[in-house]
């Protein structure tokens, strides 16, 4: 059991590593951005730009891959008129180091957010998280003042998810708690949850559990036929998100 405790990173995170000279093949203008962490590690991210941005989507991707594969999500958000920043966690893509604690993970995300706040007015920043990125996105929103928090395929907590996937593993052994529900209680910004009813990884009942922690005007949207992957490319997701953001902009 002690070995499982100390090797949990290998069970949670599945990074794709990229060489520093890797050249991306995206079809839209982008800028490579490096973020210095509190302990001197350099993180890497991509900023996709529009001609007259309404604001920025600050995006935290899932547990596998890198910005090389996740970066294509930009199309869904730049088409809505938003610049799009996506961060690679430690050990992912061109980011240095490796993830070793939950606190470190959150601190890295905050450092990246602080750097982007130097370029965008915070009331125009949308924080979005997908899957493993949802707890960090929620914590970030709870400690800052963004325009909106979007949670795609969120889990109630990692221990709740683990008990659903692996009921024989005691929850107290988990090193990473990722308690989305706890952070959600302190989010002042509007929140929109999107979850697929065919999600084979994070059961969509997680979104139902999170409803108890939403404010009255927050949204919990279940996408019919949507599995765990590919939500950004789902036209129904795009339509519903575009309508939601336009409603916020009219307030």
37, part of any domain: no
**What is the C-alpha to C-alpha distance for residues 62 and 1, in angstroms, rounded to an integer?**
26
Q: Which residues pair with 193 in a beta bridge?
A: 151, 220
21, part of any domain: no
31, part of any domain: no
pLDDT score, position 26? 95
Estimate to the nearest angstrom the gap between the alpha carbon of 85 and the chain centroid.
Answer: 11
List C-alpha distances in Å: 88 to 94, 172, 206, 207.
8, 28, 25, 25
34, part of any domain: no
116, part of any domain: yes
pLDDT digits (tens, 9 = 90+) for 120-137: 999 999 999 999 999 999
pLDDT score, position 14? 84
30, part of any domain: no
DSSP state at residue 232: G
Look up the domain containing 112 and give its range. Answer: 2-7+43-249
32, part of any domain: no
pLDDT at 50 over 70: yes
**What is the C-alpha to C-alpha distance for residues 126 and 38, in angstroms, rounded to an integer?**
24
pLDDT digits (tens, 9 = 90+) for 92-120: 999 999 998 999 999 999 999 999 999 99
Q: CATH number, domain at 105?
A: 3.40.50.1820
Percent of the chain as helix, strand, coil, to the nearest 5: 35, 20, 40
List C-alpha distances in Å: 93 to 8, 69, 98, 250.
20, 10, 11, 38
DSSP state at residue 229: S
pLDDT digits (tens, 9 = 90+) for 145-200: 999 999 999 999 887 876 665 544 555 457 778 999 999 999 999 999 999 999 99
pLDDT score, position 49? 96
Tally of domains within the chain: 1
**What is the C-alpha to C-alpha distance for residues 98 and 132, in angstroms, rounded to an integer?**
16
pLDDT at 86 over 90: yes
3-class DSSP assignment, residue 161: helix
Residue in 54, 59, 101 with CA at minimum distance from that of residue 80:
54
123, part of any domain: yes
pLDDT digits (tens, 9 = 90+) for 194-236: 999 999 999 888 989 999 999 999 999 999 999 999 999 999 9
Contact indicator for 155, 206 with CB cutoff of 8 Å: yes
């Amino acid at each position: 059991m002690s070995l499982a405790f100390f090797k949990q990173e290998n069970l949670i995170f599945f990074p794709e590593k990229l060489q520093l000279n890797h050249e991306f093949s995206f079809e839209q203008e982008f800028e490579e951005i490096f973020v210095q962490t509190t302990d001197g590690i350099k993180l890497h991210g991509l900023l996709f730009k529009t001609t007259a941005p309404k604001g920025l989507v600050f995006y935290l991707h899932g547990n596998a891959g890198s910005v090389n594969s996740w970066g294509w999500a930009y199309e869904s958000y730049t088409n809505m008129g938003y610049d799009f920043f996506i961060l690679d966690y430690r050990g992912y893509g061109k980011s240095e180091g490796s993830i070793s604690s939950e606190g470190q993970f959150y601190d890295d995300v905050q450092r990246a957010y602080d750097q982007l706040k130097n370029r965008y007015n915070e009331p125009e920043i949308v924080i979005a998280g997908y899957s493993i990125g949802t707890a960090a996105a929620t914590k970030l929103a709870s400690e800052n003042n963004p325009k909106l928090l979007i949670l795609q395929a969120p889990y109630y907590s990692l221990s709740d998810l683990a008990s659903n996937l692996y009921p024989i593993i005691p929850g107290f052994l988990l090193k990473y708690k990722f308690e989305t529900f706890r952070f959600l209680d302190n989010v002042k910004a509007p929140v929109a949850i999107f979850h697929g009813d065919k999600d084979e990884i994070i059961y969509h009942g997680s979104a139902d559990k999170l409803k108890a922690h939403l404010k009255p005007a927050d949204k919990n949207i279940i996408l019919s036929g949507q599995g765990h992957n590919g939500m950004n490319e789902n036209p129904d997701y795009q339509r519903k998100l575009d309508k939601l953001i336009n409603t916020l902009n009219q307030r």
